[in-house]
Amino acid sequence: MTTILEQEIIHHDDLVEQIFVEYGKADKEKYISLFLASLSTKNMNWRSGLSAYSILQTFPNHKFKLVENQKPSRISPCDICSNYEQIELDTELVEESFEEIGGLTGFELLDYFYYLKKTSELKPIKPKEEDLEIFSKILEILGNADEEETVKKSIQTKISKIKEFKSNSEQRQALLETLGYCSILETEEHKGLLNQYTNLAVAPTKTHSSDWNYPVDWWLGKNGLNKEALKFWFGNYSELEKFWT
């Protein structure tokens, strides 16, 4: 029997259905523990799953819907998710992002399905004390940021200086963007995905040249940490409690 990832083409509706099959099997605490455990080990494939899982919190289970006044064609996008009706299952770049970057680099249905499926195949890993210390230092940097600081320069530089946290700029960006999808880093106008859906493929950017994803692209130090979202995701770790109390 041919598996989904062995096919060449799949219909939009079938892939959405399979995404929700994988999402239905997903264990939130497993995703959280893998994310945390990746911080000291630099196992990017442990870190990647949370980005997709957090988006699925409000991602609609939907059928392909043509954009209004758009003529049907092979490259007509879905009005809800911007994916095509027939989707080519080429996983080379998706696999590379999952294994090496630790977060999403695109917002295709294939990305969501691949990340969820591959994370489900991983064994649960319990984070170490060192992982929680690293994450605490990251949250302290974000929580103590100056009002007009962004994640794009000075904050990312400060995070790069955490001695125990080995990472490159692309990996740090992916991690911070994941915190955005989780609604931990958001603004009043530009929310994460915890409580409301945004089509990230067409979400607004702060500048035309920005290469940061929504909503963290809009975040400033004055926006602080969303304590409710932080507790929702990491509430089982008493070591982090000071960040939401």
CA angle 147/151/156 to nearest 5° reads 120
Domain with 178, as residue range(s), is: 129-243
Q: Is 137 helix (H, G, I), strand (E, B) or coil?
A: helix
Task: Name the domain boundary from 88, 120, 152.
Answer: 120
Q: Are residues 47 and 135 in the same domain?
A: no
Q: Is the peptide bond before 77 cis (omega within 30 degrees of 0)?
A: no
Q: Are residues 183 and 202 in the same domain?
A: yes
DSSP state of 9: E
Q: Are residues 94 and 156 in the same domain?
A: no
**Other residues' Cβ atoms within 10 Å of the Cβ of residue 174:** 23
Nearest-CA neighbor of 45 among 134, 105, 115?
115
The domain total for the chain is 2
Q: Are residues 192 and 114 in the same domain?
A: no
Q: Are residues 103 and 145 in the same domain?
A: no
Q: Are residues 24 and 69 in the same domain?
A: yes
Confidence (pLDDT) at 2 = 54
Q: Is 66 helix (H, G, I), strand (E, B) or coil?
A: strand
Task: Name the domain boundary from 73, 93, 120.
Answer: 120
Q: Are residues 165 and 238 in the same domain?
A: yes
Q: Are residues 139 and 216 in the same domain?
A: yes
Q: Are residues 37 and 87 in the same domain?
A: yes
| Positions in the chain whose pLDDT score sits under 70 | 1-2
Q: Are residues 110 and 183 in the same domain?
A: no
Q: Is 215 helix (H, G, I), strand (E, B) or coil?
A: coil
Q: Are residues 8 and 113 in the same domain?
A: yes
> pLDDT tens digits, residue range 63-122?
999 988 777 777 789 999 999 999 999 999 999 999 999 999 999 999 999 999 999 999
Q: Are residues 142 and 239 in the same domain?
A: yes
**Other residues' Cβ atoms within 10 Å of the Cβ of residue 168:** 12
Task: Name the domain boundary from 66, 99, 120.
Answer: 120
